[in-house]
Amino acid sequence: MGHRVLGMSLFTLGELDAAKRELQSAMQLYDPERHAPSALIFSQDFKATAHAYLGLTTILMGEVESGLAHSRDALACAQQLRHPHSICNVLSFVAGAHLVAGDSRAALPVAERTIAYSNEYGFPQWSAGGTMLRGWAHVDLGHVEAGLADIRSSISGLAATNTLIWMQFAHCLLARALLASGQFESALELVERILAEIGASGGRWYEAEIHRLKGDIHRGQGKPVSEVEPHYEAAIAVARRQKARVWERKAAESLDALRSINAARSATRGNATSNPT
């Protein structure tokens, strides 16, 4: 249990390497006969949740297939125990794993299943979590209004159940949705608040994405390249420090796209100057 809790805590702090080691240790020490009954006391199975966190950790570190395998194993463990709360917990992480891996189409039905199963067994915090993840998937798939509605609903649900650990991340997703709908100022206000609070919230695991999102907002506002670049560079620096290769790749792609567009515009202006009409 100690290794699992430490691994989960290290994950939220963005210490992915250390989190991976602790979560692996938790699974190695798991004894089904001794530890499986603990799910009835602690409301979740240690091995299933360790697998779930390890899945998300390894995907962030760029080991996508390994991470998705851990996510499947997490669900298999919870289902084998027939422990509803562990299943709802793990389902949300399976949906999240697909989303971080960039497969929103695969995530959407898992998020729907999370909501349905959580409602059936009366777990409102996991229903809110599933709604948050469904909103993320909707935004990624271009259904921005549906995504906004889901994310706002999830924030209300998380607040009602005092599930504060995911509240800030839900606001991060809300900022992404607001950006996608062209509400730049509202998105920027949220991002600024998250960056100011992230050190105290334990949300370091997605810190790089916040910096990238701020760059995207400034880019959408038409800010000069010199004002946009530092945010993508900050995202890359944070991701490299954390070994979060998925976030690093996304930030690098955003930076490359920015510079390519800027170079093309400069070339166009240069041609217009050299060939006056």
Give the model's pLDDT for residue 41: 40
Residue 231's pLDDT is what? 98
Distance CA 198, CA 214 (A): 14
Report the alpha-carbon distance of residue 110 to residue 92 in Å, rounded.
8
Domain boundaries, the chain: 182-265
Length of the chain: 277
Distance CA 32, CA 237 (A): 41
Q: What is the pLDDT of residues 113-156, one digit of tens each?
A: 999 999 999 999 999 999 999 999 999 999 999 999 999 999 99
pTM equals 0.89
Q: Do 237 and 251 contact (CB within 8 A), yes or no? A: no
Cβ contact 165:12 at 8 Å:
yes
78 closest CA partner among 127, 44, 120, 108:
44
pLDDT at 269 over 90: no
Average pLDDT, the chain: 89
151 or 272, which is more confident: 151
Least confident stretch, 71-85, 172-186, 232-246: 71-85
Question: Which pLDDT value is given to residue 3?
Answer: 74
Q: Residue 265: is its pLDDT beyond 60?
A: yes
- In this prediction, residues 46-75 reach a mean pLDDT of 92
Q: For residues 65 and 77, give the distance between their C-alpha atoms in angstroms, rounded to a whole number.
A: 18
Q: Got the DSSP string for 3-57?
A: HHHHHHHHHHTT-HHHHHHHHHHHHHH--HHHHGGGHHHHSS-HHHHHHHHHHHH
pLDDT beyond 50 at 39: no
